[in-house]
């Protein structure tokens, strides 16, 4: 990077900068791989849905049961993996969506490692706290 505006100049600044840049490259790479893979899987799943149901291409008869309450689709890890074994489109899409959901969580986890690598103990602690609160909220199940 040409310049760095992070005001506080410390004796180890050049080395720190170097580490920050390397970390940014890793994080950006993790994100791109996660996003592109999940996008590809979702699209493949959508294509499969239409391969299994050619009538979906031209007939509107099946529409209501796809988008109204009571629609049938996998929503547990076991039903997703069952569906994947039978190459069901919905299950493949679900895999792509789950991968997408994991991307931000992975990013926070990678950030913890990154702050450790930068020997920034305060931010390692702060980021760990965020991860713990997130997991807590997941358990309590009440977060927007």
Partner 1 sequence: MTPLEFVLICFVISIAAGFIGSLLGLGGGLIVIPALTLALKVDIRYAIGASIVSIIATSSGAAAAYVRERMTNLRVAMVLEVATTLGALTGGFLAGRLAVRWLFVVFGLVMACSAVMMLRKRHSAASDEGEGTPWANYLRLHGSYYDGALNKEVPYRVVRARLGLALMYVAGVMSGLLGIGSGVLKVPAMDLGMRLPIKVSSATSNFMIGVTAAASAGLYFARGDINPFIAGPVAAGILVGAMVGARVMGRLHHSLIRYVFVAVLLLVSVQMLLKGVRG
Residues 71-110 that bind partner 1 (CB under 8 A): 71, 73-76, 89-91, 93-94, 96-98, 100-105, 107-108
| Interacting residue with partner 1 among 11, 85, 86, 122 (CB under 8 A) | 122
Q: From the list 15, 22, 43, 82, which residue makes contact with partner 1 (rule: CB under 8 A)?
A: 43
How many C-beta neighbours within 10 Å does residue 21 have? 12
Site for partner 1 contains 13 (CB under 8 A): no
Query: Of 12 and 66, which CB lies nearer to partner 1 in the complex structure?
Result: 66
Q: Are 89 and 95 in contact (CB under 8 A)?
A: no
Binding residue for partner 1 (CB under 8 A) from 15, 52, 82, 138?
138
DSSP state of 54: G
3-class DSSP assignment, residue 35? helix
Minimum CB–partner distance for residue 19 and partner 1 (Å):
14
Distance CA 131, CA 105 (A): 8
Q: Of the candidates 11, 57, 85, 86, which one interacts with partner 1 according to CB under 8 A?
A: 57
């Amino acid at each position: 990077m040409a310049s760095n505006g992070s005001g506080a100049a410390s004796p180890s600044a050049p080395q720190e900068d170097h580490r920050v840049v390397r970390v940014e490259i890793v994080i950006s790479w993790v994100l791109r791989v996660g996003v592109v893979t999940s996008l590809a899987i979702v699209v493949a799943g959508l294509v499969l849905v239409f391969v299994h149901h050619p009538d979906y291409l031209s007939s509107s008869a099946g529409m209501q049961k796809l988008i109204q309450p009571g629609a049938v689709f996998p929503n547990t890890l076991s039903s997703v993996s069952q569906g994947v074994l039978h190459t069901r489109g919905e299950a493949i899409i679900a895999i792509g969506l789950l991968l997408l959901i994991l991307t931000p969580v992975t990013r926070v986890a990678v950030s913890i490692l990154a702050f450790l690598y930068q020997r920034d103990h305060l931010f390692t602690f702060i980021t760990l706290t965020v991860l713990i609160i997130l997991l807590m909220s997941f358990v309590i199940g009440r977060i927007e």
